């Protein structure tokens, strides 16, 4: 069965960007959006979708591929809601930033058929600004798109192959790993950097006030480190709740490292920390 129609539930930054990317790379079928009426209209005007509705059950009708592009807790809720009405031969996937809770819910809802009906995913692409108005057809170019198959899931047939082909078409690179490993890695490479940026920006506001001319004076380094502090709490709340243990572990280890640096500002220990940090950039980047 070829993918003739795709439904994107959640037509904000990531969902809208996916629609735009598919159109840019000549997806020939229809793209249906599902969101609030005002968001649907903006997504349609931008060309991210052909039409849309606020009802998930109506939105998935006739689609071979359904993409859940909402915050994680909403994705977990939608798996059950959409799973009840999803055509048996359609593929449901998601773009959520944590995967363990998502895959557990899919296994519960779909039971023995979960391996044929659901594939968890997470494109490592985004911006600090949310909403379809900031959607970008090139958002996924050169980004990693994590796939976290269920145990024993065979991705070498049917819609799995075609879906992977479209991920490749829009410029992303697929990396597959178990859900638990994904969540641990992303706690370090994505979730921890967000918390560092948030903490730094909040501390600067507390120390100097919201209107202090800090960013221009701080130069590029400060601008880069605080850029993602503008990210929406609504998304990061769900990430923190669904990856709490891994994120707590990462924060604890970083706190210990910062304390070590503070205690060694006037010792050789500070130089050792810089030397240890420099080793990170000597590791070549690899993509599967």
Q: Identify the helix (H) or strand (E) that includes residue 53.
A: strand 51-53
Q: pLDDT by residue for the chain (288 residues), tens digit each? A: 599 999 999 999 999 999 999 999 999 999 999 999 999 999 999 999 999 999 999 999 999 999 999 999 999 999 999 999 999 999 999 999 999 999 999 999 999 999 999 999 999 998 888 899 999 999 999 999 999 999 999 999 889 999 999 999 999 999 999 999 999 999 999 999 999 999 999 999 999 988 877 778 888 899 999 999 999 999 999 999 999 999 999 999 999 999 999 999 999 999 999 999 999 876 555 443
Q: Which long-range contacts (CB under 8 A, 24 or more apart) does 190-194 make?
A: 190/97, 190/124, 191/97, 191/239, 191/240, 191/243, 191/246, 191/247, 191/250, 192/247, 192/250, 192/251, 192/254, 193/228, 194/228, 194/231, 194/236
Terminal Cα-to-Cα distance of the chain (whole angstroms): 27
Domains of the chain: 5-177 (3.40.50.720), 182-282 (1.10.3660.10)
Centre a 10 Å sphere on the Cβ of residue 111 and count the other Cβ atoms it contains. Answer: 9
* 3 state SS of 5: strand
pTM of structure: 0.92
From the centroid of its chain, how far is CA 241?
Answer: 15
Q: Are 43 and 52 in contact (CB under 8 A)?
A: yes
> What pLDDT is attached to residue 127?
81
């Amino acid at each position: 069965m070829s993918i003739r129609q795709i439904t994107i539930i959640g037509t904000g930054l990531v969902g809208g960007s996916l629609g735009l990317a598919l159109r840019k790379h000549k997806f020939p079928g229809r793209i249906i959006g599902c969101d609030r009426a005002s968001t649907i209209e903006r997504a349609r005007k931008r060309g991210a979708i052909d039409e849309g509705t606020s009802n998930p059950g109506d939105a998935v009708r006739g689609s071979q591929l359904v993409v859940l592009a909402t915050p994680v807790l909403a994705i977990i809720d939608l798996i059950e809601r959409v799973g009840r009405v999803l055509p048996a031969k359609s593929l449901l996937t998601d773009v959520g930033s944590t995967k363990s809770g998502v895959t557990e819910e899919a296994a519960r809802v779909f039971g023995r058929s979960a391996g044929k009906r659901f594939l968890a995913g997470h494109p490592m692409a985004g911006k600090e600004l949310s909403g379809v108005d900031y959607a970008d057809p090139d958002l996924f170019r050169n980004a990693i798109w994590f796939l976290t198959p269920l145990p024993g899931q065979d991705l070498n047939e049917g819609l799995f192959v075609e879906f992977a082909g479209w991920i490749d078409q829009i410029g992303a690179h697929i990396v597959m790993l178990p859900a638990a490993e994904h969540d641990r890695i992303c706690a370090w490479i994505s979730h921890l950097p967000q918390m560092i940026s948030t903490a730094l920006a909040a501390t600067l506001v507390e120390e100097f006030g919201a209107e202090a001319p800090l960013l221009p004076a701080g130069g590029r380094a400060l601008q880069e480190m605080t850029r993602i502090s503008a990210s929406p709490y609504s998304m990061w709340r769900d990430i923190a709740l669904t990856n709490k243990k891994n994120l707590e572990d990462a924060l604890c280890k970083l706190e210990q490292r910062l304390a070590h640096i503070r205690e060694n500002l006037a010792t050789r220990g500070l130089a050792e920390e810089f030397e240890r940090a420099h080793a990170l950039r000597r590791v070549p980047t690899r993509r599967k």
